[in-house]
Amino acid sequence: MAWQQRFDWKLGLLAVLVFALTGVTYQVIHGYIEHQSQLLEQERNAAMEWVLVLSRDIEPGEIIALEDLQQRKYPPVYLSDDWLRPQDAYTVVGKEMRHFVSAGEPVLLSYLNQPRPKSFSDRLQPGEFAVTALVSLEQLHHGLLVPGNRITLTAQTFAQAEQAQPAQLTNIEVLAVDAWQETARQEAMASTITLRLNADQAVTFERLRHSGFVVWLQHPEAVHMSPPPRQEAQVYVITKAGSQL
């Protein structure tokens, strides 16, 4: 029985050693694999390059802001020559997107348009025109006329018939007024005003320009209505037979 107990003890010790060696071997192999994976990941990351991508969906016509951009790494095999890099971000900001681009897509110069610079004409609606006319200091109401005012333009030349009404353009918005100046002798110098007109008003204004016109300043909330033309009196002749001539 003694030898049986010694055998059992040795067998148990051997089993413990086997389990211990198995655990150590597993740890060594796992550590080696993890280390190799880290080395491979580092090599892969070192080879990858940063690319400029969009952080959100961009619709056509939108202006790109800095917060719309982010950077992402790509393997060199996937890179294209026209993909922009993070150092190109400030050349992209302020550009207009040509078509829809979804979030995460790389930014390409072919996607971008240089936005049209803002100008005075952006204040006009389609079908409107900015028409500039030369006026005197008196017509400028001695500096009281400012952009945003509403005015009525009335022809200086009346028709021959006393009953006829002068040509008028009413409720015209003043878009711009030149700064007027005075000479040392306090002589008024002519200046210009720029008006918002539609096509029909612009044609009428050109007639007023040739005949001469005066500027009537309106109340800011008043809508001026031109008086209706006066009708000539009709003469009726009653005959004895009751007929009219």
Closest Cα partner for 75 from 44, 103, 52? 44
- 150 plus 187 within the same structural domain: yes
- 103 plus 132 within the same structural domain: no
Which residues lie below 8 Å from residue 229, measured CB to CB, with a gap of 6+? 163, 164, 165
- The answer to whether residue 13 is domain-embedded is no
Q: Is 8 exposed, middle or buried (0-12, 13-18, 19+ CB in 10 A)?
A: exposed
Confidence (pLDDT) at 2: 57
Closest Cα partner for 99 from 58, 65, 70? 58
- 139 plus 188 within the same structural domain: yes
Note the pTM of the prediction, 2 decimals: 0.51
Q: Is-contact 216 145, C-beta < 8 A?
A: no
Confidence (pLDDT) at 162: 46
Query: Residue 130: which domain range?
Result: 124-217
- The answer to whether residue 155 is domain-embedded is yes
- 144 plus 188 within the same structural domain: yes
Instruction: Please report which confidence band the pLDDT of residue 235 belongs to, taking 50, 70 and 90 as the band edges.
Output: very low
- The answer to whether residue 38 is domain-embedded is no
- 142 plus 96 within the same structural domain: no
User: What's the CATH number where 66 sits?
Assistant: 3.90.1210.10
Confidence (pLDDT) at 179: 63
Closest Cα partner for 221 from 177, 152, 171? 171
Confidence (pLDDT) at 153: 92
pLDDT > 90 in the chain, percent: 24
- 148 plus 103 within the same structural domain: no
List the strands of the sheet with 128-135, edge to edge.
128-135, 191-198, 168-177, 150-155, 213-217
Confidence (pLDDT) at 8: 60
- The answer to whether residue 228 is domain-embedded is no
pLDDT tens for residues 83-103?
899 898 888 898 889 889 999
- 209 plus 131 within the same structural domain: yes
- The answer to whether residue 43 is domain-embedded is no
pLDDT tens for residues 152-195?
999 876 554 444 556 789 999 999 988 655 555 555 566 889 99
